[in-house]
Structure 1
Amino acid sequence: MVHSGNAGGSLFAEGGAGTLRLLAYLAAAMILMVADHHGGHLERLRNAAGLLTGPIYRLAGTPARLARGVSGHLTAQQDMIRENSELREQLLLANARLDRLASVQVENLRLRQLLGGTRGLRLNVQLASLIDVDLDPFRHRILLDAGSRRGVSEGLAVIDADGVVGQVLAVTPMNSSVILVSDPSHAIPVQVVRTGLRAIAFGTGSVDRLEVPSIPLSADLRVGDVLETSGIGGRFPAGFKVGTIQHLHPDDTRLFVVADVQPAARLDRGGEVLLVWNAQSPDDKPMGPLPEGVIPENGVADPATPAAAGTPSDATPPPAVPDTEPSATEPSA
């Protein structure tokens, strides 16, 4: 079968007829364009077509909009999570700082109370911290972090913010052992603040009770009377509170009265104590470093003074106490 040129049904066939058709179509197109330009007849058609194609375009763009929305939501959520984490860390840090400030405030108050116990007295003081407790039920001892290297010597009185705690019993270069007033082998000279009556208070082995025996029946003594150190014996400076009389009862012989005393010091609590001794002259300086910012009553402390320069002159063992008012001694084996 022979193929000849274009098919008879072609729009622009070769030859004169095809050319005429092309020219006719071009002329018709030009006429339509001029008519649309002047009359705007196709504008309504284009608007109608736009109404039909608009939803199709929006539907086609929906996945992209959803993707952008999800991405923005996830980004915002991650930012919020990160910001929440940062705020939580800042809150924890702020709470930690507040707790630390509260602890410092309590410590400052406790130190002020400790030093307040020596206000108005011509005394030297040495601050020490408790580092150990003797749990032996028959011995009441505590261990302090101040020793001979800081000028501590045996016999120094130990107090807290409320009253007398005990006295230094043994000293090592770094630490010192303190016997509490509640120890059964301890005795301390006291006097009644109200009447001036002198006596000896003994430890009973209980941290909440001391005992003052051999009080004459004629003595003016009442429940609630306050006992303080009398200064006799040289171990304890006078004027420190020892305890309060809680109960009075006759002894076994019915010839004397025995007073049960509630210790003033917090013997089973607290973490800091003061070592105190009488100042021999206004120029005396305290042994070892004082707390920062603390000025003793007898002048300005000199932190640069080495402790090895020697113990104060009044740290030597005091003269023997009369048998009627013995000082504390270590129990014999």
Structure 2
Amino acid sequence: MDTIFTRGPSLNNRLTLAIVLSVLLIIVDHKLEGFKSTRVYLNSLMSPLQYLANLPGLMLNESAQRLTSREQLLSENQKLNNQLLLMSEKLQQFEVIQKENDQLRELLEAPLRVASRKMVAELMAVDENPYSQQVVINKGAIDGVYLSQPVIDDEGVVGQVMEVGTTNSRVLLIADVTHAIPVRSLRNDIRFIATGSGSINELYLEHVPHSVDIKAGDTLVSSGLGRVFPEGYPVALVTEVIRDESRPFARVIAKPLAKLDRLRHLLLLWQPEEDGVESNNEEVEELTDA
């Protein structure tokens, strides 16, 4: 029987043609970025489907929360009240220290550090590719999100925005092998470059000489170099330092402080010069009040 599959070129020729066209499209996309705008449109087109795919999980979470026992809610409320009291005490000390710091900067004629705009985002999806550490959040271009925007959680730096759609965005985590962030040691201010290992719980410090003063337990914070991540946000904790004299550099392993495997609520940061100080914490305060 003559079918449509027996007409025209053979299957081998069709496969060869498809492979050639695919390679050409990959080269054009990589070298010329010819499909950058197309990807944005496709991402915006797929965002309703992502919201629909995320809807069953939201419904199950809502149902589970409604079934939570009264005793558990009372216990959690007591713990949160205790934490709020402790944080309020620390905030009072912080405000005094910040005021003294501003006065010292004025005396030294150093520029004052101004607050930046912040926005709370929620996790929508996690990339299932084992060789890629990426997540999707529910904020996009209509919310003012931009490429390379820093993202943190309540513990430390999470990553930066790599793709922006209309209503959602894709975030590259600091554990991804393609990600690097300038950091400094909180103990002695020595600067390093922390790169992702591909594992959710490991970072590597690149090109660390054997003579450098670094040890397990050192806290690494963002250095502010590169003008992507603001200075002073916690990044990782050094867990292991291996000094093998047969190798040109020491092998330094650190663990991200952000809970990359348990992300739920994230915080988007804006550069201080891009927004005023007056409306910097609107969404954060709304979430706290709720």
Task: Please indicate the TM-score interval, normalised by the length of the shorter structure.
Answer: 0.5 to 0.7
RMSD: 3.7
Q: 1:221 to 1:159 in 2, by over 3 A?
A: same
Match of 2:171 among 171, 174, 178: 178
Work out which of the two has the higher radius of gyration on C-alpha atoms and give 1 or 2. Answer: 1
Gapped regions of structure 1 (runs ≥ 5) = 1-92, 296-333
**TM-score, structure 1 normalization:** 0.53
1:272 maps to what in 2?
265
Aligned partners of 2:177 and 2:195 also within 8 Å: yes
Indicate the SS of the match to 1:149: helix
1:134 maps to what in 2?
127
- Alignment of 1:235 with 2:228, yes or no, is yes
Aligned partners of 1:150 and 1:287 also within 8 Å: no
Q: Deviations over 1:16-52 (max 9, x none)?
A: xxxxxxxxxxxxxxxxxxxxxxxxxxxxxxxxxxxxx
Match of 1:162 among 146, 155, 169: 155
1-structure distance, mates of 2:264, 2:183: 25
2-structure distance, mates of 1:236, 1:175: 21
- Structure with the bigger percentage of helix: 2
Gapped regions of structure 2 (runs ≥ 5) = 1-65, 99-113
Match of 1:248 among 241, 244, 248: 241
- Alignment of 1:153 with 2:146, yes or no, is yes
- Alignment of 1:221 with 2:214, yes or no, is yes
Indicate the SS of the match to 1:185: coil
2-structure distance, mates of 1:248, 1:192: 14
Aligned partners of 1:150 and 1:288 also within 8 Å: no
Q: Deviations over 1:86-115 (max 9, x none)?
A: xxxxxxx9975555666778889999999x
Aligned residue type for 1:162? E
1:207 maps to what in 2?
200
1:124 maps to what in 2?
117
% of aligned pairs identical?
33
Q: Deviations over 1:184-242 (max 9, x none)?
A: 11000000111111110000011111000211122111111111000000100010111
1:292 maps to what in 2?
286
Aligned partners of 1:122 and 1:279 also within 8 Å: yes
Aligned partners of 2:117 and 2:276 also within 8 Å: no
Deviation at 1:250, TM superposition (A): 3.7
Equivalenced residue count is 203
Aligned residue type for 2:173? L
